[in-house]
Amino acid sequence: MIRFLLVDDDAHGLYMLRSLLEGHGFMVETAVNGQDALEKARLTPPDMIISDILMPVLDGFSLCRAWMQHEHLRSIPFIFYSATYTDAKDEALALSLGAVRFIVKPAEPVDLVTTIETVFKELGDGRLVIPQPPEEEEPVYLKKYNERLIRKLENKMVELEQANQHLKVLYWASTNLTAVRPMRELIYHALRTIVDAMGYAKANYFAFDEESQHFYLLEAIEYTAEELAQLQRQLVFRLGEARGLVGLVGQNRQPLILNETTSDPRWVTIDKTLHSALFVPVIHEERLLGVISMFSAEPNAFTQEHTRDMMTLANNVAIAMENSRLYEAQQQYAEQLEAQVAARTAELQVALEQAQAADKLKSQFVSNMNHELRTPLSVIKLSLELLVHGRPENWARYINTLNRETERLQIMVEEVLDISRLDLGSTKVYLEPVDLNQLIGNLIMDRIELAAAKGLTLDYEPVNDFPLVLADKQLIFQVLTNLLVNAINYTSKGGVMVCTGTAVIDNQKWLTASVSDTGPGISDEDKAHLFERFYRGEASQKSSASGTGLGLAICQEIMDRHQGRISVASAQDEGSTFTIWLRPAPSFALE
């Protein structure tokens, strides 16, 4: 049976070849380096030796040289089977040492077996004679051998340099990406490192937008800001879209190498200098975040190793992006909380100021009330004394005064009670269709004398066919009385006019009643506070009219209960107009 000696330091390679040959019925012995092979062959010479070149202790070239110098072994065919020494000069040196064949690893099993069989056949029929190497001087052999070795070392250096670059990238990925950075900065750094360390021409990052299912170019390295902006407009891809390949890589979630861009119709040619490309998806816990694409000016620039390294990098980028997203979300949340706290503090400050202002108003009110109550009371006291001690012919006057001041007191007490009832919610509002024209007519009748006594005109201009309003008759009467009495009280010459009307605001139909006077008007400062409780403005100070500063606050409360409004328009020294706004009663609501 034919015996083989296989020499290789790589256990896997050895196993593969051994299985192949044993499968073809050959006997196989193995050795792990040249030295080991020589020892085994001297004991039991094989029928053929197949040897690797790069091995520790004694390499393939040295083994072959020793083999050919051995008187029993030199007639046994020697085949080189190598993956590292593969160029023509290696082959030349190998054959010059006496090898019958030089095969480059990995060879197809069929081809390998065919070669072996051919060698045996040719040896058998004498067509192949094992070449006897020239008895070269040791220095000549060593020179050739060193040349091959140095060449090999140079190649190894290049490989190591490349491996070093890859390591740099991976090192960067494992260290730099752990620090939390803003998303955009993080992606810029990742791309920058890829381009610098790997020597690629350009690199892009496409972010995936889940909502629109599209990829948008977020960052690109080695482009100017204007170029980037233009690319961002041009390079938008749908998930699954073949054009541009980004959408496809995102869909398949697998890296993709493009060896020659110009021969692939899916490539979007914008930059003609780019010839090959590598796309890797960026995925975090099943969630597609984006796609990194790298480009080279050379065709076939990307290998499986690049892909593997870039996938590792992409995974780390994904984790870093997720960290960054969480960090940004947290930051945003903290800012929101801060803003909420600030807003709440501001609200509390306003509430505090309002409370302080209300407190001040209440103190003012107490002193006002003190004054306002004392005045009618002292007049009442005096009138009563005069009734007892005065002349009977004046009694009618005293009784008149008594009546007036009692009424004044009564109004004041009622206003205070009104506002506290409104506050307690014990004032019930009974809404019903009300004829405002009629209500105002009654009001005018009641106050016509008061106006005349002050030398003022009091006019009323009702709108004909005025629709009914939805209101609480009594409460609205109270509002209009307040407005009318104010107008009369604060106007010294001219007169007061009441009128009804309609208005449409934001498709909402309103029925209005206005009380206008030719009084002093209201300053902007007063306007801002008129409807506050206990606020008494300039007009009250200038006139001798008594009051509580509650009238307009009550009017406002009542209008609020009607979901209506009260407004004021005024020009100083010309007069004021107070208007109330009410809803029409449903059956009369205009479309």
CA–CA separation, 98 vs 512, rounded Å? 120
Please report, as a single letter, which amino acid is at residue 267: W
Give the residue with the Cβ less far from ligand ADP, 82 or 556.
556
Residues comprising the chain, all counted: 591
Report the residue number, 46 or 537, with the smaller CB distance to ligand ADP. 537
Residue 198: how many CB atoms within 10 A of its CB?
A: 22
- Chain contacts with ligand ADP (rule: CB under 6 A): 482, 486-487, 490, 517, 519-520, 522, 526, 530, 535-540, 547-553, 576
Residue with Cβ nearer ligand ADP (340 or 457): 457
| DSSP letter assigned to residue 584 | B
Q: Which long-range contacts (CB under 8 A, 24 or more apart) does 358-362 make?
A: 358/533, 361/532, 361/533, 361/534, 361/535, 361/549, 362/534
- In whole angstroms, how close is the CB of 575 to ligand ADP at the nearest point? 7
Q: Measured from the CB atom, is 197 or 412 closer to ligand ADP?
A: 412
Point out the residue whose Cβ comes nearest to ligand ADP. 547
Phi/psi at 86 (5° precision): -130, 0
| Residue 69 CB coordination number (10 Å) | 12
In the complex, least distance from residue 567 CB atom to ligand ADP, rounded to whole angstroms = 13
Considering beta carbons, is residue 293 or 491 the nearer one to ligand ADP? 491
The CA-CA-CA angle for residues 85, 89, 94, to 5°, reads 70
Choice between 28 and 515, CB closer to ligand ADP? 515
Q: How far is CA 445 from CA 234, 248, 403, 440, 497, in A?
A: 80, 87, 20, 9, 13
Cα–Cα nearest to 57, from 32, 91, 40: 32
Whose CA is closest to 551, among 480, 456, 474, 471? Answer: 480
Per DSSP, the three-state class of 180 is coil
Query: Percent helix, strand, coil in the chain (nearest 5)?
Result: 55, 20, 30
Handedness of CA 198, 203, 208, 214 (dihedral sign): negative
| DSSP H helices in 201-303 | 225-234, 246-252
Name the residue nearer to ligand ADP (CB basis): 344 or 542.
Answer: 542
Residue whose CB is less far from ligand ADP, 248 or 552:
552
Nearest residue (CB) to ligand ADP, 101 versus 536: 536
Please identify, using beta-carbon distances, which residue of 51 and 486 lies nearer to ligand ADP.
486
| Residues 215, 555: Cα–Cα separation, whole Å | 61
* 422: helix, strand or coil: helix
DSSP string, 239-266: TT--TTSHHHHHHHTS-EEES-GGG-TT
d(CA 298, CA 53): 32
Cβ distance to ligand ADP smaller for residue 324 or 540: 540
**Residue 287 forms beta bridges with which residues?**
284
Report, in Å, the least distance between residue 521 CB and ligand ADP: 7
